[in-house]
Structure 1
Amino acid sequence: MRVADILRKKGSSVVTLPSAATVAQLVESLDDHKIGAVVVVDDDRVVGIVSERDIVHHLRSGRDQSSTLSEIMTADVHVVTVQDELDQLALIMTERRLRHLPVVEDGVLKGIVSIGDVVKARLEALAAERDHLEDYLRQAP
């Protein structure tokens, strides 16, 4: 299974904000959309990602919600392509402790994949394999 398969099922919609947006705007966006991360985009280019963890770290350090995303975002964004394999995503997410990976093709944001998407796809694949094996065993003499 590839990233393209996940996006085909979940869609390619991605919540984005510019790096000049404030932490307060980020919190509102996360709550409105019931999501855990926002991709930071300037001039149609992915420049960062910011998650709930980033907000907690930011606020715990004593700074307020008027700070901009450029101050708290992760600028070294690990991205994947639609051709990447699900197993590779699971490995990247586990090793790097990431929960969200933007999907970028030719510099264009195509979607986002979360750890929940990966788990769901793996569970669906296991269920399909189980069903196939059960059908095979029912047909065996």
Structure 2
Amino acid sequence: MYVQTILRSKGNDVVWVRPGDGITEACNRMQENGIGALLVSDDGVRPLGILSERDIARAVAAYGERLPGMVVRELMTGHVFTCAPDDTIESVMETMTRERIRHVPVMHESRLAGIISIGDVVKFRLDEMAQETEALRGYIAGAG
């Protein structure tokens, strides 16, 4: 199966912030949307980085009380691993595991097409396994 399969079910909306936005605003945006990462972009089309809950947790330890006065560009991860809609879900799982990342923007023709999280991938795999289980049950019931 392919990344586009996940995007079809979850949609293409991506919540993003600008590099100069405040960390408090970014945290509020994550909370309001129930997400664990924000794409960092000047235009919502081309990623400049990603800001995750992990980045913020590390910053709490490193910067303490100074954190609320900081901006996204100071904490974001600048190197962003991306995938394409026609990449296999297995290849994205391998990248997430190897690079220890939880969110991967999906790019199509140099433009943002969505974002998938490790939770999206796990949900997809669980649904896929449930369908396989039902198919096997049906096969066994029909064979008996």
Q: Same fold (TM over 0.5)?
A: yes
Stretch deviating more after TM superposition (7-16 or 36-45): 36-45
Give the secondary structure class of the aligned counterpart of 2:59. helix
Which position in structure 2 is the counterpart of 1:12?
12
Give the secondary structure class of the aligned counterpart of 1:65. helix
Distance in 2 (alpha carbons) for counterparts of 1:115 and 1:41: 21
Give the secondary structure class of the aligned counterpart of 2:69. coil
Query: Which of the numbers 89, 93, 101 marks the counterpart of 1:98?
Result: 101
1:67-123 superposed Cα distances (whole Å, 9 cap, x missing partner): 111111111100011001111111111111111101111121111101010001001
Which position in structure 2 is the counterpart of 1:52?
53
Q: Tell me, which stretches of 5 or more residues in structure 1 are unaligned?
A: none
Counterpart amino acid of residue 16 in structure 1: W
Distance in 2 (alpha carbons) for counterparts of 1:28 and 1:50: 13
Query: Identity across aligned pairs (percent)?
Result: 38
Distance in 1 (alpha carbons) for counterparts of 2:108 and 2:69: 33
Aligned residue pairs total 141
Superposition CA RMSD, Å? 1.1
Counterpart amino acid of residue 122 in structure 1: R
Counterpart amino acid of residue 60 in structure 1: A
Which position in structure 2 is the counterpart of 1:38?
38
Distance in 1 (alpha carbons) for counterparts of 2:39 and 2:69: 18
Deviation at 1:59, TM superposition (A): 2.0
Distance in 1 (alpha carbons) for counterparts of 2:123 and 2:46: 29
1:34-85 superposed Cα distances (whole Å, 9 cap, x missing partner): 1100000114321000101101111211232221111111111000110011
Compare the two structures and name the one with the higher helix fraction.
Answer: 2
Distance in 2 (alpha carbons) for counterparts of 1:60 and 1:23: 15
Give the secondary structure class of the aligned counterpart of 2:114. strand
> What TM-score comes out, normalization by structure 2 length?
0.94
> What TM-score comes out, normalization by structure 1 length?
0.95
Q: Tell me, which stretches of 5 or more residues in structure 2 are unaligned?
A: none
Give the secondary structure class of the aligned counterpart of 1:24. helix
Distance in 2 (alpha carbons) for counterparts of 1:101 and 1:45: 13
Deviation at 1:131, TM superposition (A): 0.8
